[in-house]
């Protein structure tokens, strides 16, 4: 009984330490998406190049990435070379969603930084982004052959996230 009593402060310390330690490694800005493993929202948005309506049915049967960006977004510039590399050698088709961005500003940005996207759609009012639960740019959604969201990247991709998480998952989803 006495031994147990002296252990109480130690136990308390361990419990608090575990909680605090977990708090250290968690990013408070990462909000888990409830959309993972659910069908991606359907929508129709104008293409940036010709204004024709585009809907994600065009990508049915493919594994593809929806990359939410804007010409006003600083981190998107940082991420862009990685997205370009992903898309360039056809490893993964990437659809760009210009979020709350004037079409002429989006076009100028793509001209300056290169346009690796299979297609770019323009979500000026931001309503489709809200359907996807977007709360910042960039954000990316990996969508499988059946149109389900399987992975969400909040914030810019880095090389490690692409090599260790995204590409292995793409391989697996292609095999499904």
Partner 1 sequence: MAGPMKVDVDLPPLSVEQKARLKQLEEELRCLVCQNQNLADSNAELASDLRNIVHRMVAEGRGDQAIKDYLVERYGDFVLYDPPVQSNTWLLWGGPFAMLALGAGIWATIQRRQRLGNRPDGPPVDDAARARARALLDEPDTGGGSGRPR
Residue ranges that bind partner 1, judged by CB under 8 A:
28-29, 31-35, 70, 72-74, 99-102, 105, 124-127, 130-137
| Burial of 76 from C-beta contacts in 10 A (0-12 / 13-18 / 19+) | buried
- Encode 33-72: b = buried (16+ Cβ within 10 Å), e = exposed: bebeeeebbebebeebbeeeebebeebeeebbbbbbbbbe
| Burial of 141 from C-beta contacts in 10 A (0-12 / 13-18 / 19+) | buried
What's the min distance (Å) between Cβ of 22 and partner 1? 12
Q: Which residue, 15 or 58, is less far from partner 1 as judged by CB? A: 15
What's the min distance (Å) between Cβ of 148 and partner 1? 15
Q: Which residue, 36 or 60, is less far from partner 1 as judged by CB? A: 36
What's the min distance (Å) between Cβ of 67 and partner 1? 16
What distance in Å separates the CA atoms of residue 33 and residue 149, rounded to the nearest whole number? 10
Q: Which residue, 29 or 159, is less far from partner 1 as judged by CB? A: 29
What's the min distance (Å) between Cβ of 29 and partner 1? 7
Q: Which residue, 115 or 122, is less far from partner 1 as judged by CB? A: 122
């Amino acid at each position: 009984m006495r031994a147990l009593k002296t252990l109480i402060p130690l136990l308390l310390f361990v419990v608090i330490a575990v909680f605090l330690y977990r708090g250290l490694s968690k990013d408070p800005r990462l909000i888990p998406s409830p959309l993972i493993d659910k069908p991606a929202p359907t929508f129709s948005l104008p293409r940036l190049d010709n204004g024709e309506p585009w809907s994600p049915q065009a990508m049915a049967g493919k594994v593809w990435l929806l990359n939410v960006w804007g010409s006003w977004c600083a981190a998107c510039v940082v991420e862009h070379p990685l997205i370009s590399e992903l898309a360039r050698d056809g490893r993964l088709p990437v659809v760009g969603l210009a979020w709350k961005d004037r079409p002429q500003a989006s076009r100028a940005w793509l001209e300056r930084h290169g346009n690796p996207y299979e297609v770019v759609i323009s979500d000026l009012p931001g309503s489709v982004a809200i359907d996807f639960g977007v709360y910042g740019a960039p954000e990316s959604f990996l969508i499988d052959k059946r149109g389900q969201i399987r992975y969400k990247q909040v914030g810019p991709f880095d090389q490690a996230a692409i090599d260790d998480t995204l590409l292995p998952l793409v391989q697996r989803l292609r095999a499904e």
